[in-house]
Chain A
Amino acid sequence: MAKYIVRRILSAIPVLFGLSIVLFSFIHLLPGDPAAALLGQHATPELTAKIRQQLGLDQPLYVQYLQYLTQLLHGDLGKSVINNRPVITDFATRFPGTVELTLAALLFAVGIGIPLGRFAARHTQGWQDGVVTVISLFGISIPIFVLGLTLQYVLSVQLHWLPTSGRLDPRTTIPSVTNFMLIDTLLAGRPDAFVDALRHLILPAIALGSIPLAIITRITRASVLDVNNEDYVRTARAKGLTERRVDDRHIMRNAWLPVVTVIGLQVGGLLAGAVITETVFSWNGVGRWVVEAIQDHDYFVVQSSILIFAFIFLAVNLIVDIGYAYLNPRIRYA
């Protein structure tokens, strides 16, 4: 097992390394002279030359790349060229927001998706299955921003049931400790603010969770149906066990493995979806930050944040794979 884990971790290294090259070249292939572009109307030839020199842009590309890599290995992710704050500082304050949102969306997708999938599988002959199929079909066919804008307009703007945007009512001030709103509000001893933070979380989580919800529903349904046809399930039924007992004891125990795998696979999609969700709901997370950075040509933020995103993505995949291998030893030797 340990050997397998080590092998998997080692295999992630070339990917991150390759990614650093891709990102580095991407940034340097952006049209125009970064120095002149960033100086804008201040750009005199002398000033541009000076900035190029200060940035190391007058060095050969491979030298620049090695400098970049050296910094990375020392944990230096650079500074934003827009607000001059270290990338890691902004990332640290914004990342918890994305984690909170992503987990809430995943919780929503799993919490609704699995029961919905089981429900559909139990009623394949009835209209219920059709309804669930249609729900999941809509789930994957509605763009996040369409669903998000609709929920926002109907439930917040018109009906005033839930807040439109942000993570907490602006009138409330909570000391930032972990930057996880749900934790900080509790640390501050403010259950009312905790509820408020929870209410802010609902709509973005639904919008972001809609696609995983659809996928988890489908997989649960399919895998329950697969197991349903297995002999031991028929035997259990033949023994006269109640349908509920068969469901809990025999079907789900065996059907959950593919479901768990798919849940793991959703993380990449959730990070991508967070980019749009955070824009719709003015959510202060890394997704919106990266989009702004790309549009602002904020070089170091783009380089470093995408690298961090990829790192998280690979780490989650690794955890899923290891978990899977742990549960299913055949994988390890394949």
Chain B
Amino acid sequence: MTRTRFGALVAATMIVVAACGGSSATPGPSAASSAAPSSAASTAASTAPSTAPSTAASAAAGTPKDGGTLVAGLPGDMVLADPSLVSDSNSSEIETQVIQGLVGLKPGTNSQLIPVLATALPTVSADGLTYTFTLRQGVKFHDGTDFNADAVVYNYMRQLNAPKSLQNDYNYYFGAVFGFGADSNLASVTATDPSTVVFKLKTPQSNFLLATTLPQFGIQSPTALKAGDADNPDPSKSPYAQGQGGTGKSMVGTGPFMFKEWVPNDHVTLVKNPNYWDTANAAHLDAITFKPYADQTAELNALQAGDIDWAQTISPTDVKTVQSDASLQAIDRGQSCNEFHLSLNNADKPFDNLQIRQAIGYALNKQSYIDAFYAGMAKPADNFMPPATEYYKPLNLPTYDPAKAKSLIASSGVPASELNLTFYYPSDVSRPYMPDPKGLAEAIANDLQAVGFTITFKTEGWRTGYLSDSSVGKFPMDLLGWTCDWAGPDNFLVTDLFYFNGSKPNPQFNYGPADLKAAFDAGIAATSDAAAQQAWGTAQDILARDLPIIPILNSTPPAAAAAYVQGFVGSGNLEEQFNTTWLNK
């Protein structure tokens, strides 16, 4: 029993820490208030799918053919078969094929809302506190039971009142977006009739809709959840969360694909839902098998050898190889929805000195990293969030100028003894925003040495300490980044980087002046688009003024597939739907 409990906590650490593959800040129950409003939804034009320069599968002509199995390579295994309990990108990618929410993101976009299980986007009261959804009728879960307003209420209530152990360790996104129980910003969810659900909030929260597009807020069959003991405080004892029993017993949603089986560390198989409610968008594929791979090289090897049909991410430097192979195609994902930065702990010397931080900014030749490690598939960052984010503005951050870096170091008055920097990099991972952390760390160190710093390298395993140690501020300087959940400034500036826990800034950077907190608070309190624009603009100006960390670049991580894979629509958050995908063979 004690062991189980221990395991649960650890598993949760791993999950949370792996959330969205970035420096997952855990804002805790108070996060609801720091999740800032963003009217991204209303400005979908800025994130419309780009016309991809390279081969985009979606561009393929021809009438889709039905049938076949797609074998898809992912960078890791599913964690649990219940999306409400996971926050890692692999589980989300698989579960979003099966479980749907009331609203979703338009395929290919990061912030354009479309109704899914609702017939339309909800009506919102003038005070921004009441959201009323009208639900689709005649939709059935994969176990044959009816989707209706009671099911929606059940799903939200089970997370709102989740057992304490699940709150602490599993229901990360629900906690981050709403908070739990009496502390939640969610006042009530009620079914006024079988096809109408009313959400009441305590304070306005305009990221509400964007957040609920995540698979973590998907609607699952209450019958199956109950039968599979999905709310067991220890998910290892829940047949539902463990993926036991197959279709209709675990991971039971309404989507175009249905869960079939999960063999841990080996594969997850989904099969076509023959009775999908949205017949026009029913799946073409008979089945998808997701396979975990240790690294991008293994994934590409498998793709080239024909073992898999689709690879979620390949190293950008391999795109050339893929393009030169007629049997393969590289898939561009359009606009970047990530950021990669050099973290500096502002409580440590010499990073408490603004001129030193600026000197580091001037020392880094960002473009050379992009050419060497991203094959050009990235842009130097001029902000703490990617350009496609709502309220983004260029900040004129330092660009490569080693002479200026040297003179800043000289005028900083920092003694030479403090110019020896301890630099952490993750040893065993590649992420969409950093395909080769080791190579990048070496190149960055080289640039820093060139202007007068000396570097001592330290490393830790990604899962075995790097993320957790970094997030509590144990590292003076390290490499990290973030793939967005949705393209709002709150998701980058607050959740990812500079959230406050009460009045205490994120311990990772120990940076958080009062005016930044005021700007965030103003963004949160804003009820109009103009007010939000101004608040987020101020926040960005403050960050540019203080340069607490060094943003490096925003990348567009490529996917790759066999040439016969057609109809796939990529998006920057890397959580794509496969219902439009078909095999031309």
A170 contacts which chain B residues (CB < 8 A)?
Answer: 71, 267, 289, 291, 307-308
Interface contact B306-A82, CB-CB below 8 Å: no
B301 contacts which chain A residues (CB < 8 A)?
Answer: 152-153, 156-157, 164-165
Closest A-chain residue to B14, C-beta based?
A: A82
A296 → B minimal CB distance (Å): 5
**Could you tell me the distance between the alpha carbons of A300 and B10 in the complex, rounded to whole angstroms?**
13
**Could you tell me the distance between the alpha carbons of A289 and B308 in the complex, rounded to whole angstroms?**
23
Interface contact B10-A39, CB-CB below 8 Å: yes
- At the interface with chain A, which of B363-371, B440-448, B457-465? B457-465
Q: Is B394 close to A, CB under 8 A?
A: no
Per-residue CB contact flags for chain B residues 43-66 toward chain A (1 = under 8 Å, else 0) read: 000000000000000000000000
Interface contact B465-A166, CB-CB below 8 Å: no
Q: Is A7 close to B, CB under 8 A?
A: no
**Could you tell me the distance between the alpha carbons of A37 and B304 in the complex, rounded to whole angstroms?**
39
Q: Which of B18-56 contact A (CB under 8 A)?
A: 26
A40 contacts which chain B residues (CB < 8 A)?
Answer: 13, 17, 465, 467-469, 471-472
Q: Is B263 close to A, CB under 8 A?
A: yes
Per-residue CB contact flags for chain A residues 57-82 toward chain B (1 = under 8 Å, else 0) read: 00000000000000000000011111
Given the known A-B contacts A79-B4, A80-B7, are A295 and B472 also in contact in the complex, defined by CB atoms under 8 Å?
Answer: no
Interface contact B236-A42, CB-CB below 8 Å: no
B14 contacts which chain A residues (CB < 8 A)?
Answer: 82
A153 contacts which chain B residues (CB < 8 A)?
Answer: 301
Q: Is A261 close to B, CB under 8 A?
A: no
Given the known A-B contacts A39-B10, A84-B236, A284-B266, are A164 and B17 also in contact in the complex, defined by CB atoms under 8 Å?
Answer: no
Of the residues A171, A284, A300, contact of B69 by C-beta under 8 Å = A171
Given the known A-B contacts A84-B8, A165-B301, A295-B428, are A37 and B465 also in contact in the complex, defined by CB atoms under 8 Å?
Answer: yes
Q: Is A85 close to B, CB under 8 A?
A: yes
Closest B-chain residue to A166, C-beta based?
A: B307
Q: Is A173 close to B, CB under 8 A?
A: yes
B386 → A minimal CB distance (Å): 25
**Could you tell me the distance between the alpha carbons of A126 and B454 in the complex, rounded to whole angstroms?**
60
B507 → A minimal CB distance (Å): 9
A84 contacts which chain B residues (CB < 8 A)?
Answer: 4, 7-8, 11, 234-236
Q: Is A54 close to B, CB under 8 A?
A: yes
Closest A-chain residue to B308, C-beta based?
A: A170
Q: Is B545 close to A, CB under 8 A?
A: no
B464 contacts which chain A residues (CB < 8 A)?
Answer: 295-297
Q: Is B131 close to A, CB under 8 A?
A: no
B500 → A minimal CB distance (Å): 16
Interface contact B461-A55, CB-CB below 8 Å: no
Q: Which of B258-283 contact A (CB under 8 A)?
A: 261, 263-267, 269
**Could you tell me the distance between the alpha carbons of A47 and B10 in the complex, rounded to whole angstroms?**
12
Q: Is A242 close to B, CB under 8 A?
A: no
**Could you tell me the distance between the alpha carbons of A153 and B298 in the complex, rounded to whole angstroms?**
10
Given the known A-B contacts A166-B291, A284-B265, are A41 and B4 also in contact in the complex, defined by CB atoms under 8 Å?
Answer: no
Q: Which of B164-184 contact A (CB under 8 A)?
A: 168-169
Given the known A-B contacts A85-B264, A157-B301, are A38 and B289 also in contact in the complex, defined by CB atoms under 8 Å?
Answer: no
B3 contacts which chain A residues (CB < 8 A)?
Answer: 55, 78-79, 300
Of the residues B11, B307, B468, contact of A165 by C-beta under 8 Å = B307
Given the known A-B contacts A54-B5, A295-B461, are A163 and B305 also in contact in the complex, defined by CB atoms under 8 Å?
Answer: yes
B266 contacts which chain A residues (CB < 8 A)?
Answer: 284
Interface contact A160-B305, CB-CB below 8 Å: yes
**Could you tell me the distance between the alpha carbons of A279 and B428 in the complex, rounded to whole angstroms?**
13
Given the known A-B contacts A38-B9, A165-B301, A295-B428, are A56 and B2 also in contact in the complex, defined by CB atoms under 8 Å?
Answer: yes
Interface contact A157-B298, CB-CB below 8 Å: no
- Identify the interface centre among A157, A164, A173: most chain B CB within 10 Å of its CB: A164
**Could you tell me the distance between the alpha carbons of A297 and B12 in the complex, rounded to whole angstroms?**
15
A82 contacts which chain B residues (CB < 8 A)?
Answer: 7, 10-11, 14
Chain B interface mostly: helix
The total of chain B residues at the interface (CB under 8 A) is 53
Q: Is A325 close to B, CB under 8 A?
A: no
Of the residues A51, A157, A160, A164, contact of B9 by C-beta under 8 Å = A51
B302 contacts which chain A residues (CB < 8 A)?
Answer: 164-166
B13 contacts which chain A residues (CB < 8 A)?
Answer: 38-42
Interface contact B11-A83, CB-CB below 8 Å: yes
Of the residues A37, A160, A297, contact of B306 by C-beta under 8 Å = A160
Of the residues B7, B9, B291, contact of A42 by C-beta under 8 Å = B9
Q: Is A176 close to B, CB under 8 A?
A: yes
**Could you tell me the distance between the alpha carbons of A303 and B308 in the complex, rounded to whole angstroms?**
35
Interface contact A171-B305, CB-CB below 8 Å: no
A279 contacts which chain B residues (CB < 8 A)?
Answer: 294
Given the known A-B contacts A81-B6, A296-B461, are A164 and B305 also in contact in the complex, defined by CB atoms under 8 Å?
Answer: yes
Interface contact A157-B304, CB-CB below 8 Å: yes
A299 → B minimal CB distance (Å): 10
Per-residue CB contact flags for chain A residues 156-184 toward chain B (1 = under 8 Å, else 0) read: 11001001111001110100100000000
Q: Is B189 close to A, CB under 8 A?
A: no
Q: Is A282 close to B, CB under 8 A?
A: yes
**Could you tell me the distance between the alpha carbons of A163 and B79 in the complex, rounded to whole angstroms?**
27
**Could you tell me the distance between the alpha carbons of A166 and B299 in the complex, rounded to whole angstroms?**
11
Q: Which of B434-492 contact A (CB under 8 A)?
A: 461, 463-465, 467-469, 471-472
A14 → B minimal CB distance (Å): 28
Closest A-chain residue to B327, C-beta based?
A: A160
A38 → B minimal CB distance (Å): 5
Q: Is B293 close to A, CB under 8 A?
A: yes
Q: Is B16 close to A, CB under 8 A?
A: yes
Interface contact B463-A41, CB-CB below 8 Å: no
**Could you tell me the distance between the alpha carbons of A56 and B6 in the complex, rounded to whole angstroms?**
11
Interface contact A55-B6, CB-CB below 8 Å: yes
B10 contacts which chain A residues (CB < 8 A)?
Answer: 38-39, 81-82
B17 contacts which chain A residues (CB < 8 A)?
Answer: 40-41
Q: Which of A74-102 contact B (CB under 8 A)?
A: 78-85, 90
**Could you tell me the distance between the alpha carbons of A180 and B431 in the complex, rounded to whole angstroms?**
34
A42 contacts which chain B residues (CB < 8 A)?
Answer: 9, 12-13, 16, 26, 168-169
- Identify the interface centre among A51, A80, A90, A170: most chain B CB within 10 Å of its CB: A170
Closest A-chain residue to B2, C-beta based?
A: A54
Q: Which of B288-337 contact A (CB under 8 A)?
A: 289, 291, 293-294, 298, 301-302, 304-308
B456 → A minimal CB distance (Å): 18
Interface contact A54-B6, CB-CB below 8 Å: yes
Interface contact B305-A156, CB-CB below 8 Å: yes
A178 → B minimal CB distance (Å): 14
Per-residue CB contact flags for chain A residues 27-62 toward chain B (1 = under 8 Å, else 0) read: 000000000011111110001000100111000000
**Could you tell me the distance between the alpha carbons of A85 and B11 in the complex, rounded to whole angstroms?**
11
Closest A-chain residue to B28, C-beta based?
A: A42
**Could you tell me the distance between the alpha carbons of A10 and B243 in the complex, rounded to whole angstroms?**
44
Interface contact B298-A165, CB-CB below 8 Å: yes
Query: Told that A40-B17, A55-B6 touch, could you supply 4 new A-B pairs with CB distance under 8 A?
Result: A51-B9, A81-B7, A170-B267, A171-B289
In the complex, 16 of the A-B residue pairs with CB atoms within 8 angstroms, ordered by the A residue number, are A39-B9, A41-B16, A41-B467, A42-B12, A42-B168, A79-B3, A81-B7, A82-B14, A84-B7, A84-B11, A84-B235, A156-B301, A165-B298, A165-B301, A282-B293, A282-B298
